[in-house]
Structure 1
Amino acid sequence: MSQDNSILCALDIKDNNMRNVSVKDATIKNRGVIKHIKIVSADLTYKLYRCPQCGLNALVKNGKRKTNARLASFNGIEYHLVLNKQRYICKNCGSTCGAHSDLLIKNHTMTKQVQNRIFDMARESFTLTSIAKIIGVSVNTVSRILYDNIKLPNRCNVLPENLCFDEFRSVNGIFTFIAIDAQTHHLIELIHDRLSKTVTEHFINNYSLSERQAVKTVSIDLNANYQMVVHRIFPNAQIIVDRFHIVQLCSRALDQVRISCLKKISDKHSSLYKALKSNWRLYHLPEADVDDKKVKYIFGINEYTTTQNVIDIAIDRLPIFKNRQIL
């Protein structure tokens, strides 16, 4: 294997038209930060005779043009590709053209390697900032590659009968409204504002009354604003509170009672205090996961006993906590 092919193979460049490949170290200054990079130099040339404009075999070589592109990094160091691309001129019509490689993207300084690496990291749920830092590009570049060719539709073709409403924190801490199909989990709507007025106007302006009347259920959290929005947009829909938020609300209520009981216990070294303080997670276990037979060492209480016995310490001695635990 020649030296050119060895370098191309190591850099995962599958283009046999590159010649005179060499790699050298270099230092650049970007926004006041000095970076040590690798520069890969190569010539891109191949035989080309037929003119793409007039179709005659009248092309001759007409010098070279230097281009700079980014390669994907495999060891944390930036790799810049300096490519001398062969130019051609037609003796018949006078038009010019140049050599092209599948590695490059037209009118871009990013190669397909970098683009594919960004897509791969995005699938692994890396943030835009993390991708930009690892790849060595700006956040705007990552965002442009990921989202420029994606056009969100103004509306879906058919509203599903069961919807889910929620919001999430997006760019610059702004909350974005999202609606998905409750059965398929496919994205239905994405509105860059969670205000009730904006959400209501969006659905009313984009969907007819008959389409909105066909919606049967809408699952939401405990946000009271969404309840009014749902009644306004979907007259026939029933509101379903997400079970996660119901369980979360019950868990918080149980913790409030537990903490209030803790504050009333004067002996901080008692088994009751330790059971409520150190082993609070046991009181959130499902009933099926509570073991009343297997004896094991319980930290905090510092003795061998069962999980059920630890729970019974608080339930038997605190009636108010027992009532909340049953609820």
Structure 2
Amino acid sequence: MKILLDIQDKNITIEEDSIQIKKHQEILAKFISAKLTYTPTHCECCGVKNENYTVYKNGTKTSRITLPMSGIYPTFLNLKKQRFFCKACNASFIARTSIVKEHCFISYHTRAKVLIKSTDAQSLTDIAKDCSVSTTTVQRIITTEAKKYKPYYHALPKHLSFDEFKYAKGQMAFEYVNGENGDILDILDRRDSHTIKNHFIANYQRRDLKKVETVTIDMNAGYVNVIQEVFPQAKIIIDRFHLVQLISRAMNMTRVRVMNSLRTSNGEDMKKYRRLKRYWRLLLKYKGDLSYTEYKYYRLFGQRLEVNVVEELLSYDANLKVNYNLYQSLLESIKEKDFKAFENILSTVNLNTVSRYMRTSVKTLKKHLPFIENSLSYPYSNGRIEGINNKIKVLNRVAYGYRNFNNFKSRIMLHFKLKAIVSQQKGSVYPAA
């Protein structure tokens, strides 16, 4: 029975026929009766040695200790703890055990189960239900454990990544991570320039700020001003994904404009409309990835090559073809990391021949041109921090939101910091006694 319950304390003995199944808080639960007793070597109150029965046994005190669920029932251990009385100081104390903290009724194994479950995308209510504890207890365990992973404000990595995520209605949080390994360094409850600037200046020394070599961001103008002021030696990198996303959206909006212009009572125009609406992904696909050899059946087209489908879609509007050629040229230069070609395309493009969506994108790219050069020269991106944000959104959605930002931050830090340890140790994580 002790092996089954993973009780390693040799001073605990389980009696015969000690298991009972009865109602507890209106649900059926399993109760296991056991006794904890031993002969102490000294008094825990005054420290006198136990010689000639200076410390003797003086009754028992029963504690109901929550264990991890055994089978389908919540499991509790009714542990009769031995009481001791000291003749030297006339004080009494209770026997201690390694399965539970002193003055606590939740076992270390249950606490470990709560922590392991908190590394997954589960709500506090589900964790509390699985571990037979309250949601307040779950949050308290998470908050206590998260304190071990407080931010280390004495050094900064050479490469940083900045981004933000939404944690409440109208509330955006700011986070920065190690650009090389994706380790979360800290999370702030606000993303305005004043808060970010004060955070770095107040917590880090000037020499640490000067050691930062690169900072990867999206096209947030507020971050640019903060980085230039706080990190004087750092080069700003615009994430390549956001560059591609900018021109892809402009191209897609151009397609939508052309498509809607063909929505008329004419049957031939409606056919073109349906084709542009159905095969929009082909127009956004990189031309080098289009198939030139494999014939496939395309609805509304028949048996065609993929490249022929794209050519026919572009033939519906001359302006659409001009925007497509510009889009593909920019996409190719980004893919090949050829900054000179990218700069040359922006400088030679005739803005009067492209759509207003693409015109706005070109102006934005020109504005960020010095930072785009760094994007195509350095291998760093915001891929890791975007993946972290995706998991954070899942945690927030599963929990139906957090009203307390500090509780949400503790859950995030524990989810990412402890999960790596759980994976390394294959689930054998136990908090220190």
For residues 134 and 183 of structure 1, the distance between their equivalents in structure 2, rounded to whole angstroms, comes to 37
Letter in 2 for 1:276: L
For residues 108 and 268 of structure 2, the distance between their equivalents in structure 1, rounded to whole angstroms, comes to 64
Secondary structure, in 3 states, of the residue corresponding to 2:182? coil
Residue of structure 2 aligned with 1:104, choices 96, 100, 106: 100
Change (3 A) 1:244 1:143: farther
1:222 paired with 2:236, answer no
Residue of structure 2 aligned with 1:191, choices 188, 193, 213: 188
For residues 124 and 249 of structure 1, the distance between their equivalents in structure 2, rounded to whole angstroms, comes to 33
Change (3 A) 1:237 1:96: same
Does the Cα contact within 8 Å between 1:44 and 1:99 map onto a contact in 2? no
Of Structure 1 and Structure 2, which has the larger fraction of its residues in strand? 1
Change (3 A) 1:25 1:159: same
Partner of 1:312: 311
Partner of 1:38: 29
Does the Cα contact within 8 Å between 1:293 and 1:306 map onto a contact in 2? yes
* 1:49 Cα deviation from its structure 2 partner: 4.2
CA RMSD across the alignment: 3.0
Change (3 A) 1:156 1:69: same
Does the Cα contact within 8 Å between 1:275 and 1:313 map onto a contact in 2? no
Please report the TM-score for the alignment, with normalisation by the length of structure 1.
Answer: 0.81
Does the Cα contact within 8 Å between 1:275 and 1:310 map onto a contact in 2? no
For residues 320 and 174 of structure 1, the distance between their equivalents in structure 2, rounded to whole angstroms, comes to 41
1:213 paired with 2:210, answer yes
Q: How does 1:269-284 map to 2 (within 5 A)?
A: 272-284=272-284
For residues 50 and 182 of structure 1, the distance between their equivalents in structure 2, rounded to whole angstroms, comes to 55
Q: How does 1:1-327 map to 2 (within 5 A)?
A: 5=1, 8-15=2-9, 17-20=12-15, 21-28=18-25, 35-52=26-43, 53-57=47-51, 58=53, 59-73=55-69, 77-149=73-145, 150=147, 156-170=153-167, 174-266=171-263, 267=267, 272-298=272-298, 300-301=299-300, 303-326=302-325, 327=327
* 1:71 Cα deviation from its structure 2 partner: 2.0
Letter in 2 for 1:121: K
For residues 64 and 268 of structure 1, the distance between their equivalents in structure 2, rounded to whole angstroms, comes to 92
Change (3 A) 1:283 1:106: farther
Question: Could you say which structure has the greater relative contact order, defined with CA pairs below 8 angstroms and 6 or more residues apart?
Answer: 2
Does the Cα contact within 8 Å between 2:214 and 2:236 map onto a contact in 1? yes
Change (3 A) 1:283 1:46: farther
Greater mean alpha carbon deviation, residues 183-192 or residues 232-241: 183-192
Secondary structure, in 3 states, of the residue corresponding to 1:292? coil
- Which stretches in structure 2 are left out of the alignment for 5+ residues? 328-433
Change (3 A) 1:287 1:86: farther
Does the Cα contact within 8 Å between 2:56 and 2:86 map onto a contact in 1? yes
* 1:314 Cα deviation from its structure 2 partner: 1.4
Does the Cα contact within 8 Å between 1:51 and 1:90 map onto a contact in 2? no
Secondary structure, in 3 states, of the residue corresponding to 2:187? strand
- Which stretches in structure 1 are left out of the alignment for 5+ residues? 29-34
* 1:152 Cα deviation from its structure 2 partner: 5.8
For residues 280 and 143 of structure 2, the distance between their equivalents in structure 1, rounded to whole angstroms, comes to 45
Does the Cα contact within 8 Å between 1:37 and 1:80 map onto a contact in 2? no
* 1:250 Cα deviation from its structure 2 partner: 2.3
Does the Cα contact within 8 Å between 1:230 and 1:237 map onto a contact in 2? yes
Does the Cα contact within 8 Å between 1:37 and 1:79 map onto a contact in 2? no
For residues 76 and 253 of structure 1, the distance between their equivalents in structure 2, rounded to whole angstroms, comes to 56
| Seq. identity, % | 26
Does the Cα contact within 8 Å between 2:152 and 2:185 map onto a contact in 1? yes
Does the Cα contact within 8 Å between 1:25 and 1:37 map onto a contact in 2? yes
For residues 215 and 323 of structure 1, the distance between their equivalents in structure 2, rounded to whole angstroms, comes to 42
User: How many positions carry a matched residue from both structures?
Assistant: 314
Of Structure 1 and Structure 2, which has the larger fraction of its residues in helix? 2
